[in-house]
Structure 1
Amino acid sequence: MNSAISAIDDTDRALVHALQLAPRASWERLAQVLGARPETLARRWERLTTAGEAWVSGIGLRTGAQAPCMAWVEVTCAAGTSPAVGAALTGDPHTMGVEHTTGGRDLLVFVAVPNLHVLYQYLSFRVQRIPGVVGTRSSMVTAVHSSPDRWRLDQLTPAQADLLTGRGRRKVAATPPAPVAPMPEEDRPLVLALASDARRSVASLAWESGMSESTVRRRLGRLEAGQSLRYSCALASGLTGWPVAATVWAEVPEHEVADCAAVAAGLRETRTCMSVSGPWNFMIGVRLRTIEELSRYTADLTRRLPGMRVADTMVALHVRKSEAQELDRTGRRVRTVRPDIWQDAAPAPREEAPPHGSA
């Protein structure tokens, strides 16, 4: 048996599942659901996070009232250079994900920047100038139907999940989701402070930011309620039982996109689902137990969605980075690359500098 897999048990996985549902819940609240002492859960979490086996991160990428400009970038490299190129891209704050993949590209990179001009600048004067890069192809994200933070382990019972989230306490009529609120520039340092550990106490955030604890609580509450800040709890992929990451590119009739997204998001293996521009208009990121399951998954998709045409599939050989976390080959976290997407994407290009003396 793999010693890395045997190092954690069902209680650890239940704790991760609980934190996926309630990332900032107190140890006392979690203890009521999991049937363990608060201090025991705290010690387990400390062990998991210290080993890089689990983490809770906070991500907030909005620029005022605008959603970030996001794109999937396929990178082709000269022979033997993809490890160095992948390492260079992993260190950039503008990359949320970096994978070495099979298929017609060497790397698949998920990029987030404030606007289209910065995306152009990042691709033209950063990515395409990394030694070894011989070509790129980009697909803009036009809609996010399901994001990675919604993927869950299946360790808790429905009753435990309802108790933790409060969904079982009352029945209310379905209401449309509230619009995403703007994120003031002054809140960015607070959001970035949560990138490596979203369970940080209000006291520590207040001390670091120089704000009062009541101000921090108020700002966090506003960001959470307005969906400008989201939390993601993850377990190292090698420990989840779903170690294989793959990407499916598909063509979907535009009038069927919503239905296709709903069906795809409902499949256990689906981790993310997005509409994109480019060669194809639909992408799905999946987690699988084995490589062999990919063909079964795509067959199930096309059976459920006759209008969908699967155009390409790729398997991740090595996920270097996911949601701003640098990972090792077993999926354990090595470090957090602070996702400050608002900093300069590349040195100012000399050829685009304004003429001398211009206003």
Structure 2
Amino acid sequence: MNSAISAIDDTDRALVHALQLAPRASWERLAQVLGARPETLARRWERLTGAGEAWITGLGLRTGTQAPCMAWVEVMCAAGTPPTVGAALTADPHTMGVEHTTGGRDLLTFVAVPDLHTLYRYLSFRVQRIPGVVGTRSSIVTAVHAAPDRWRLDQLTPAQTDQLTGRNRRNGASAAQSPRPVAAMAQEDRPLTLALASDARRSVASLARESGMSESTVRRRLGRLEAGQSLRYSCALASGLTGWPVSATVWAEVPEHEVADCAAVAAGLRETRTCMSVSGPWNFMIGARLRTIEELSRYTADLTRRLPNMRVTDTMVALHVRKSEAQELDQAGRRIRTVRPDIWTDAAPGSRDETPPHGTVLPPRGGA
């Protein structure tokens, strides 16, 4: 991998934007929209992914029909230890994102586990026992109003966007707007979704060979999970190439009866990448992409002007986004590798809960 960010052109950015809208579209379909030859687009994508400058990941983190238990975890570290603590958390399958940040914490992590008890085990027996960690503060996600995969480049024309999304501007709706029930993710679906974490454009044939399923079975399972929103794709470009290299987080307090309206307004701003309701000291968080650090004050001012009942309580800027959506990144935002997001593995192998279940008596240490 080159040490410097390489030059990319508008066709590369248009290709990434198209794949953000239609991650598994064929090269032939993309070529019709972008006005390029299919083999040319395939070569460009191979170059971008080979350099770690772009990628598509697939995440399917459900247990049955239940969404994962997700939390933002602020980690405080002893002096000199944030790099090693950050490295340990980056290598962890339960941590989807890791940032070295400004403000009153050293690291901000985004964690996904199957349930609350697993989160307890993960924080108590894993995170808080990493050498150098001196404290944590957690905010559980209670609602996701805007997910990271919604953030787009702005390279395509409205007509090209309509072609890829199937939207009809006369009726203002997509052909697939009707709500569908959430698809259950069976245990046997997990290997298939994990295989898409590093490359969500993998062919059905290669997925079938790896999983031992037939191609028709793989195609049917993918279709069911995609339609039921249990498998989501995200196409990303290295932050140093997007024109929006600064990652910032805004914590806020919003009246509970205004959360939905505030989320709609915040999600409608160009800079907003994520928007979630959370528990903890504050009930609202927004993740943003900015062109410069100086834009943070303008962005927060815009938020408070549009939302006079929202009180911004804290802001932070990422010094280094070390991991995002299970992808380990370098300082320029290029992908180094995929950390397999197997959230169903034991969150703290080798440890056991220190409080016995009600009515259970543990044997004395050293024997029965």
Which band: TM-score by shorter chain?
Answer: over 0.9
Shift of 1:164: 1.3
Q: What corresponds to 1:202 in structure 2?
A: 204
Please give the alpha-carbon distance, in whole angstroms, between the structure 2 residues aligned to 1:120 and 1:299.
36
Q: What corresponds to 1:283 in structure 2?
A: 285
Q: What corresponds to 2:21 in structure 1?
A: 21
Shift of 1:86: 0.2
1:219 aligns with 2:221: yes
- Compute the TM-score of the two structures, normalised by the length of structure 2: 0.94
Q: What corresponds to 1:88 in structure 2?
A: 88
Q: What corresponds to 1:73 in structure 2?
A: 73
Structure 2: runs of 5+ lacking an equivalent: none
Shift of 1:7: 1.4
Letter in 2 for 1:79: A
Q: What corresponds to 1:99 in structure 2?
A: 99
Q: Say which is worse superposed, 159-168 or 238-247, in terms of deviation.
A: 159-168
Q: What corresponds to 1:49 in structure 2?
A: 49
Alignment check: 8 A CA contact 1:74 1:108 kept: yes
Q: What corresponds to 1:293 in structure 2?
A: 295
Alignment check: 8 A CA contact 1:4 1:239 kept: no
Shift of 1:5: 5.2
Alignment check: 8 A CA contact 1:151 1:270 kept: yes
1:192-341 matches, cutoff 5 A = 192-341=194-343
Alignment check: 8 A CA contact 1:246 1:316 kept: yes
Q: Per-residue CA shift, 1:186-205, capped at 9, x if unaligned?
A: 10010000000000000000
Please give the alpha-carbon distance, in whole angstroms, between the structure 1 residues aligned to 2:172 and 2:335.
39
- Compute the TM-score of the two structures, normalised by the length of structure 1: 0.96
Please give the alpha-carbon distance, in whole angstroms, between the structure 1 residues aligned to 2:363 and 2:80.
42
Q: Say which is worse superposed, 179-188 or 213-222, in terms of deviation.
A: 179-188
Please give the alpha-carbon distance, in whole angstroms, between the structure 2 residues aligned to 1:17 and 1:351.
49
Q: Per-residue CA shift, 1:55-97, capped at 9, x if unaligned?
A: 0000011011211000000000000000000000000000000
Q: Say which is worse superposed, 168-177 or 194-203, in terms of deviation.
A: 168-177
Alignment check: 8 A CA contact 1:76 1:106 kept: yes
Q: Name the count of aligned residue pairs.
A: 355
Please give the alpha-carbon distance, in whole angstroms, between the structure 2 residues aligned to 1:333 and 1:143.
28
Please give the alpha-carbon distance, in whole angstroms, between the structure 2 residues aligned to 1:247 and 1:169.
34
Please give the alpha-carbon distance, in whole angstroms, between the structure 1 residues aligned to 2:233 and 2:69.
19
Shift of 1:152: 0.1
1:12 aligns with 2:12: yes
Please give the alpha-carbon distance, in whole angstroms, between the structure 2 residues aligned to 1:5 and 1:173.
39
Alignment check: 8 A CA contact 2:121 2:353 kept: no
Q: What corresponds to 2:193 in structure 1?
A: 191
Paired residue secondary structure (1:217): helix
Q: Per-residue CA shift, 1:154-182, capped at 9, x if unaligned?
A: 00000011011111377377966333222
What is the RMSD computed on CA atoms of the aligned residues? Answer: 1.6
Letter in 2 for 1:207: R
Show structure 1 runs of 4+ deviating over 6 A. Answer: none
Q: What corresponds to 1:142 in structure 2?
A: 142
Please give the alpha-carbon distance, in whole angstroms, between the structure 2 residues aligned to 1:258 and 1:215.
39
Structure 1: runs of 5+ lacking an equivalent: none
Q: What corresponds to 2:354 in structure 1?
A: 351
Q: Per-residue CA shift, 1:100-125, capped at 9, x if unaligned?
A: 00000000000000000000000000
